[in-house]
Amino acid sequence: MSLKASFNSFNSEFSAATTRNTQQKRPTSAVPTPVQRPSTPSTQPTDLKRKRQDLPQNAAYSQPADTGSGREVMTQVVYAIDYLKSKDRPISFTDIWNYLSIPANQQQHRQVLRRALMEHPKVDYDPKGLDGQHPSFRFRPVHNVRSADDLKAYLQRQHTAQGISVKELKEGWPDAVLEIERLESKGELLVVRQKKDNVPKMVWPNDPSLDQRIDQDFKDYWLKTTLPANPGDLRIELEKAGITPTSQVKEVIKVSGGKDKKKRTSKKVGRYTNTHMVGILKDYNATKK
């Protein structure tokens, strides 16, 4: 077949295929039909709109409530530390294990939990803490203070006057506020309180022997002394008593002189001659006026 015949055959086949494609119609099911929605809400219950009471009581939610029975070992460590903090006394590991109520299929984590509590920074482990024979676990607060005597001894050992936060003391000493108020009334503590609720905030040691006692007569005389209402009158009274008032304008004394500036000396330009070229250059000094 020649090239021209092949070309004519291709054109005829292409025309026939184009005609068949244009005659075919798109199926009606492929075109989405718009849904007519009612203008008023329907009163009939549907699957998409369900009442809350129709849900089953044991329905699962995305955030279940904390039941306190986590199965992970580190979760159990957190619960164990909270238990030690509430007891505030040495506890055996058996009591801790019974409190956690770990399921029977998780008994293999017993030694892992014990080792985690022994090495935890918030736990004091004593190999012979119970009766000098059995190991014990106890909560370790920020400050090892659990009584009024411990607090006074701890404050005396401090090398700075920074003070101690009452919030940190309460972490390992539930009765800290009551004992602090009692020590404050005896003059053994200096206490700073919060303004909104008057609760102790910071404490410092206090030595009652350093207190200065003032006679009542002096206090009465001090309270009877009244100050002038006008600040100008008060200044006059102070000047009469030979006291310099703080509101007095201080004269600024100007210091005369200062660092002497060095005068720059001008360098005198001397006479330069080319002595090494006397026989070559001509001397014009005689022509100068």
As a whole number, mean pLDDT of residues 11-16 equals 70
- pLDDT the model gives residue 221: 92
- pLDDT the model gives residue 33: 55
pLDDT tens-place string over residues 130-146 = 877 888 998 888 888 88
Helix (H), strand (E), coil (C) string for the chain: CCHHHHHHHHHHHHHHHHHHHHHCCCCHHHCCCCCCCCCCCCCCCCCCCCCHHHCCCCCCCCCCCCCCCCCCHHHHHHHHHHHHHHHCCCECHHHHHHHHCCCHHHHHHHHHHHHHHHCCCCEEEEEEEECCCEEEEEECCCCCCCCHHHHHHHHHCCCCCCCEEHHHHHHHCCCHHHHHHHHHHCCCEEEEECCCCCCEEEEEECCHHHCCCCCHHHHHHHHHCCCCCCHHHHHHHHHHCCCCCCCCCCCCCCCCCCCCCCCCCCCCCCCCCCHHHCCCCCCCHHHCC
pLDDT tens-place string over residues 21-75 = 665 545 554 455 555 555 555 545 555 445 455 545 555 544 444 444 445 778 8
- pLDDT the model gives residue 58: 55
User: Does 4 or 236 have the greater pLDDT score?
Assistant: 236
pLDDT tens-place string over residues 66-84 = 444 445 778 888 888 888 8
pLDDT tens-place string over residues 249-280 = 766 667 666 666 677 776 666 666 677 777 77
